[in-house]
A and B are shown apart, each in its own frame.
Chain A
Amino acid sequence: MSAAARPSLGRLALNGAAGLSLLFILLPLIFVTWLAFFRQEIPSFPPEGYSLKWFAAVPGQKAFVDGFVLSLEVGVLATLIGLVLGVPASLALVRHRIVLGPAVNTLLLLPLVMPGIVLGTSLYVFQIETEIATGWPMLGSLGGLVAAHTLVVVPWVVRLVTASLAGFDRTIEEAAQNLGAGPWTTFWRVTLPSIRSGIVAAGLFGFVTSFGNLEMSLFLVGPGRTTLPIAILQYLEWKIDPTVAAASVIQIVLIGAAMIITDRYVKLSRVV
């Protein structure tokens, strides 16, 4: 009896510990969401009542709206450029024996483990040097920001696309070529569709990495040109109220929806 009861008790403790950790991860989001529906402005508990008025106030916050638009622009551009650079590189790395292949692979993944603060300071001085050398306005420009964000998107693309290529059966391509398809037709009609899930996942992760980037972007944004995470940070340094919470809730809902939709095409539990 006791032998049978003990594992299930252990099981219960294990599930309990796991549940507590999950709750701990979600707790800050729960608090922010709760605050967004407060009636009074001061975040004191228990709330005096509930209201939806703060959501109506969000579009009036110019910093949040501009930040959202800029983050969206930068995220989309950096993801597209990152895919254009990263997908061919992954194909070459998996398919061909390249001189220094492992070294190239490590280099392409390096921005992922590079501390954001170090990346931000280095890119800041780099962009200043480039400005001095060429006369192009870099620092605080859209181009400078997109280039920096592309740098953190590329590793995600390389990591996820090489992973999806590793399980790919090359004989299918050979079959297509035997049936008369040229290299381009083979690529577009056979190779690309079969690594689509990897590319979709790479696009999603690249985009959200760029959209949420704070530490690196902090050094690269210019006056009047701020991304959404930095706009939220600057607001929070000043005060916390239901308006910023409502803006956060909108962000949580958008990202959550994007993830659930992506999950229908690519199982997130497989790619993360």
Chain B
Amino acid sequence: MSTIAPEPVAGGRTHLAGALVVPATIFVAIGLLGPIAILFRYSLNYFVPGQFMVDGLTIENYVKFFTDSYYLNVLWRTVRVSVICTIACLIMGFPLAYVLARTQSRFKNLMVIAVVLPLFVGNAVRSAGWMTAFGSRGALNASLMGLGIIDQPLEIMFTETAVIIGIIAVNLPFMVLTLQSVIEGINRNVEEAAFSLGAGPAAMFRRVLWPLAMPGILAGTILTFILAMNAYATPVLLGGPKFQTMGPLVYGQFAQQNNWPFGGAISFILMTATILLTVAANLIVQRRYR
């Protein structure tokens, strides 16, 4: 008896573990994978104006995207803006992440809150801030003209520059937090060792800090790149109706054109482009830093 007794307990435990993990797994599987499968199926349907959506099996929607220079331009613009924003986030984020990771200041928590708070305030509100600054009589133009640097207001609002500045500000906190957590895990002694062996700050950064922080750099650039590719509020508010990127394009197909098959196809192209570019960047970086 005594040798059999532990058996049901162990069996009960695995049973319990299953019972604990299954609800969440089923919820996410049905709520995430199911919808994506249906969206892909929709993207293979026909769109007949006036008739809405007709069941079918066609790649017409994908062909339409890749043969029309308008849509290709939108994709190219989105990729270009995302790459610029991601590089800028890395350059601007690294010093701040390093200082946050190494500081002994008692205001460290307050500084972390200052980085995190904008994340939770939402993209629309932050775009509103830039709208205040960029208008023809906004803070930036008013101060530049007040200082006598320019006599005509700069046209920043509704340009690519405005969108890039807006997206950098939105994504920078993500980059900083990702880098900070990785830099905190790097032992300070390795930096000291590099210095005591005669390396200058630049050499120490290039040969020690940068390679050791590579996992965080990769994670941070991937995250900010995905977010930039899929930005919606920032391009709509700072770019205006004429500045199209992929996010607003998808929304327009669903909400205004009611063209679900084409909208679904663009959604898929956006997702695939994001994943492919991420994987490509990953491979290039790994090859260089192995």
Contact = CB atoms under 8 A, between A and B. Distances in A.
Contact of B96 (A22, A35, A122): A22
A115 interface: yes
Interface string B169-201: 100110011000100000000000000000001
Contact of A45 (B138, B226, B274): B138
B229 interface: yes
Nearest to B266: A121
A118 B36 CA distance: 8
Contact of A111 (B28, B139, B172, B181): B28
A152 B25 CA distance: 13
Contacts of A263: 109, 113
Given A125-B39, A211-B120, A151 B28 contact: yes
Question: DSSP class of B's interface residues: helix, strand, loop or mixed?
Answer: helix
Contact of A232 (B17, B128, B169, B254): B128
A192 interface: no
Contacts of A267: 109
B114 interface: yes
Contacts of B111: 22
B115 A22 contact: yes
A124 B36 CA distance: 10
A269 B142 contact: no
Size class of the contact patch on chain B? 35 or more
B95 A237 contact: no
Interface string A32-74: 1011000000111110000000000000000000000000000
A104 B21 contact: yes
A147 interface: yes
Interface string B116-137: 1111111111111111110101
Given A28-B128, A44-B137, A240-B131, A89 B20 contact: yes
B221 interface: no
B288 to A, nearest CB: 24
A17 interface: yes
B271 interface: yes
- Which residue of B35, B95, B137, B176 has the most chain A CB atoms within 10 A of its CB atom? B35
B220 interface: no
Interface string A16-30: 011011101111111
A200 interface: no
Nearest to A14: B95
B116 A268 contact: yes
A108 B169 contact: no
Contacts of A28: 118, 125-130, 133, 166, 169
B236 A233 contact: yes
A119 B247 CA distance: 12
A125 B139 contact: no
A212 B32 contact: no
Contact of A268 (B96, B109, B135): B109
B38 interface: yes
Contacts of B79: none
B237 to A, nearest CB: 5
A18 B103 CA distance: 12
A158 B24 contact: yes
A140 interface: no
B21 A240 contact: no
Nearest to A104: B25
7 contacts: A21-B93, A22-B114, A29-B125, A104-B25, A116-B230, A237-B237, A259-B113
Given A44-B142, A126-B34, A208-B119, 6 more contacts: A18-B99, A21-B92, A42-B137, A110-B28, A118-B268, A147-B31
Interface of B: 13-14, 16-18, 20-21, 23-25, 27-29, 31-32, 34-36, 38-39, 42, 92-93, 95-96, 98-100, 108-109, 111-133, 135, 137-139, 141-143, 146, 166, 168-169, 172-173, 176-177, 181, 201, 223, 226, 229-230, 232-233, 236-237, 246-247, 250-251, 254-255, 260, 263-264, 267-268, 270-271, 274
